[in-house]
């Protein structure tokens, strides 16, 4: 049996955080469960009965995913919170956005990141995120995604206050609409190695203390800009 069996039972509430050591204070964010299957430890112990949201876009990178590592390492706090968010978004999307709307009405949200962990799990959900952002022009939103086909399909309705960074893994996307890129650098591609790099992680994969709140690049990036991140 999974350590955390989660169900939609009327008590589920969204979990929004106000930043962490890597993102920095004041950058509010919400996460869903990462991976494409229920999270499990290396010894095979299943942590939750809820599948992750990255199905179809995490081939090859799952074993390197920082969000999976963090969810497993901090499972006692992370899995329940991210699991509740996932269940609500999947099974009762109107309630998910209603609760998020309430949070925004009660807080001053200058910057908001979608999915420190997790992905856009459906085109309908991605479109609902776009619509939510458009309702809050005073907030700067940003996200990273490998849902390339949906990014292209919804390009005409993406609000200006949302920066979508396409996450590229081993040249898996040609980026025809010239979205800002966030490229994984595992030292296998000289072109990637020569790109400007996210200052939050050094060449050895260690956090430097430079937060998103300090750097600001990923929520102000323009089309055509490129950024790499060292493997971590």
Q: Report the DSSP beta bridge partners of residue 141.
A: 112, 162
Q: What is the pLDDT of residues 153-200, one digit of tens each?
A: 999 999 999 999 999 988 999 999 999 999 999 999 999 999 999 999
- Contact at 8 Å (CB) between 201 and 232? yes
9 in any annotated domain: no
Is the C-alpha dihedral spanning 174, 178, 179, 184 positive or negative? positive
Band of residue 1 on the pLDDT scale cut at 50, 70, 90: confident
Q: What is the pLDDT of residues 10-38, one digit of tens each?
A: 999 999 999 777 788 889 999 999 999 89
Q: Report the DSSP beta bridge partners of residue 40.
A: 46
Count helices and strands in the chain by DSSP H and E runs: 7, 7
213 in any annotated domain: yes
Q: Which residues of 149-181 are buried (b: 16+ CB within 10 A; e: fewer)?
A: ebbeebeeebeebbbbbbbbbeeebebeeebbb
11 in any annotated domain: no
pTM: 0.94
Output the pLDDT for position 13.
97
Domain residues for the domain of 150 are: 16-230
125 in any annotated domain: yes
- Please give the full DSSP string across 31-50, using - where no structure is assigned: ----SSS--B-TT--B-BSS
5 in any annotated domain: no
- Token pair belonging to 110: 């200058």
80 in any annotated domain: yes
pLDDT over 70 at 61, yes or no: no
Number of structural domains the chain divides into: 1
- Token pair belonging to 82: 């991210």
Question: What percentage of the chain has pLDDT greater than the value 70?
Answer: 97
β-strands 27-30, 16-17 pairing: antiparallel
7 in any annotated domain: no
Mean pLDDT of 198-225: 93
204 in any annotated domain: yes
């Amino acid at each position: 049996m999974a350590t955390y069996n989660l169900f939609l039972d009327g008590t589920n509430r969204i979990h929004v955080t106000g930043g962490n050591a890597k993102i920095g204070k004041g950058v509010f964010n919400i996460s869903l469960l990462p991976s494409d299957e229920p999270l499990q430890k290396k010894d095979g112990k299943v942590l939750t009965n809820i599948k992750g949201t990255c199905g179809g876009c995490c081939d090859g990178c799952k074993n390197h995913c920082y969000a999976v590592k963090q969810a497993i390492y901090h499972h006692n706090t992370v899995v329940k919170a991210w699991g509740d968010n996932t269940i609500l978004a999947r099974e009762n999307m109107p309630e998910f956005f209603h609760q998020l709307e309430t949070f925004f009405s009660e807080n001053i949200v200058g910057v908001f990141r979608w999915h420190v962990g997790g992905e856009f799990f459906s085109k309908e959900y991605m479109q609902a995120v776009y619509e939510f952002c458009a309702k809050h022009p005073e907030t700067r939103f940003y996200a990273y995604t490998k849902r390339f086909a949906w990014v292209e399909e919804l390009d005409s309705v993406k609000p200006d206050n949302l920066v979508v960074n396409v996450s590229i893994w081993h040249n898996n996307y040609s980026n025809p609409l010239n979205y800002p890129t966030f490229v994984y650098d595992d030292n296998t591609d000289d072109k990637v190695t020569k790109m400007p790099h996210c200052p939050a992680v050094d060449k050895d994969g260690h956090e430097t203390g430079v937060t998103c709140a300090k750097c600001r690049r990923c929520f102000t990036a323009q089309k055509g800009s490129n950024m790499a991140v060292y493997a971590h």
